[in-house]
Homo-oligomer: A and B are copies of this chain.
């Protein structure tokens, strides 16, 4: 069941109004990571609440309590905004997630225009903080609702909404809310599937459905020796230097070609099946795409399938930096007393933080013992999250594929994300239903960067895609 032609026409003829509304949303600097902007996040919640109410959605702003700051202080969390419309037991129920908070942005960071004024460029770029992450997609759903409200049309499915204002700051408070509301009697109970629009196409050309995410496990290796920083003139070649030990350990973790050298970590991952390889082969992607987005010819792989699997279905280990060492410009002859090396591993099934952590700790401790250093080593596991892969032949995905064909006239690319979107796992675990990641924006949108943009065509066709997806959900066999 395709969407009514009337809906598609409505979206086209209201495009300017939709863009204006996106401008209103971008104008509220709802930066969750800056205390000074916390009330703007709250303002954004209220703005969105009014918009949803105006198109017939029943809403509830949920107080999530206080955030505990690093200094021990408390800051009120912005509310989560829950919504629902329709309760026809004959229709499927779709739960939609989005976030109305944004990353920090300042003109001085290198923006060509004020980040909180949406600028419509001739080439179609709608530039502003939050345009693509994640106000654009949220407003896409609002556009769909607008049509049905204005035309007094029933939606083809029952909808539930979960919009949060802390996504860019760790989704404080959301996990508990989702678990609670997924119980019988809860707001989300009875959802048949979930759709999240908060990631991106692989490139600038081909629509994407995403069925997997890598997990993460983050470590800090602490090496300490002297009771204070020492001068290398006085102590060089006299004492065991923590930096020498730490660099030796960090140098044993990963090879230049990305292979993880911690015994047991790579071995845990099964080789790809022929069916999987065929998916990667089909993807609209090239080594040039990597190099263009990295801004340099530094791709590890020569081969597209290897490159895609490196990003999506193999684990990776990145060395992020060192805390406690000299990190300024110039030349300082210090022997730092205590240094902490930071690295993280992106995980794929069947890896989990719980399975990986003992391998990492055992390996680092045995390598440290080989150094015969008199310094001390502590391996700290900072945080982690499981990887996620779902069935991309599920009816939720089939509906999205049909919608993509209808709107974009092509098959979507089936991707796994190299990064994590933790809320995906929260919904999958709490509700036990299929979760679809249905991105609106392109791979070059620069979500957390300067000059973040959403292309006009992605916003408008993306609105059609979201609406059509709901009609296809209604039609697809469960």
Chain A interface residues (CB < 8 Å from chain B)? 70, 214, 216, 218, 220, 225-228, 230-241, 243-245, 247-248, 250-251, 254-258, 290, 293-301, 307, 310-311, 314-323, 325-336, 342, 344, 346, 371-375, 382-383, 417-420, 448-449
Residues of B within 8 A of A316 (CB): 232, 236-238
Decide: A319 near B243, CB < 8 A? Known: A226-B294, A233-B418, A256-B372.
yes
Whether A320 pairs with B332 at a CB distance below 8 angstroms is: yes
Residues of B within 8 A of A307 (CB): 238
Residues of B within 8 A of A256 (CB): 240, 244-245, 248, 371-373
Residues of B within 8 A of A335 (CB): 318, 320
Residues of B within 8 A of A231 (CB): 419, 448
Residues of B within 8 A of A346 (CB): 232-233, 236-237
Whether B320 pairs with A236 at a CB distance below 8 angstroms is: no
Whether A226 pairs with B298 at a CB distance below 8 angstroms is: yes
CB distance from A346 to the nearest CB of B (A): 5
Among A235, A293, A311, A382, chain B packs the most CB atoms within 10 A around the CB of: A235
Whether B418 pairs with A299 at a CB distance below 8 angstroms is: no
Additional pairs, 18, CB under 8 Å, beyond known A236-B318, A237-B258: A214-B233, A218-B333, A226-B298, A227-B294, A227-B295, A230-B294, A233-B346, A235-B418, A236-B316, A236-B317, A237-B346, A238-B310, A239-B299, A240-B256, A243-B321, A247-B319, A251-B251, A332-B342
Decide: A237 near B336, CB < 8 A? Known: A226-B294, A248-B251, A294-B225.
no
Other-chain residue from B225, B290, B329 in contact with A296 (beta carbon distance below 8 A): B225
- Cα(A379)–Cα(B245), bound, Å: 22
Other-chain residue from B248, B320, B375, B417 in contact with A232 (beta carbon distance below 8 A): B320
22 contacts between A and B (CB under 8 A): A216-B233, A225-B294, A225-B296, A232-B419, A233-B418, A233-B420, A234-B311, A235-B294, A236-B258, A237-B311, A237-B418, A238-B258, A238-B418, A250-B251, A257-B372, A297-B374, A318-B333, A320-B333, A321-B326, A321-B332, A325-B327, A333-B344
Whether A236 pairs with B311 at a CB distance below 8 angstroms is: yes
CB distance from A306 to the nearest CB of B (A): 10
Whether A237 pairs with B310 at a CB distance below 8 angstroms is: yes
Other-chain residue from B233, B296, B327 in contact with A417 (beta carbon distance below 8 A): B233
Closest to A332 in B: B320
Residues of B within 8 A of A371 (CB): 256
Pick the 9 closest A-B CB pairs, nearest first. A233-B419, A227-B295, A236-B316, A321-B325, A321-B326, A251-B251, A237-B316, A237-B310, A327-B327
Decide: A235 near B331, CB < 8 A? Known: A244-B254, A256-B372.
no
Closest to A219 in B: B331
- Cα(A330)–Cα(B321), bound, Å: 11
- Cα(A316)–Cα(B231), bound, Å: 12
Residues of B within 8 A of A244 (CB): 254-256, 318-319
- Cα(A316)–Cα(B230), bound, Å: 14
CB distance from A132 to the nearest CB of B (A): 15
- Cα(A232)–Cα(B374), bound, Å: 33
- Cα(A241)–Cα(B300), bound, Å: 9
Whether B237 pairs with A314 at a CB distance below 8 angstroms is: yes
Decide: A243 near B327, CB < 8 A? Known: A236-B311, A372-B256, A417-B233.
no
Other-chain residue from B241, B255, B320 in contact with A334 (beta carbon distance below 8 A): B320
Decide: A418 near B327, CB < 8 A? Known: A320-B243, A322-B322.
no
Whether B232 pairs with A298 at a CB distance below 8 angstroms is: no
CB distance from A135 to the nearest CB of B (A): 20
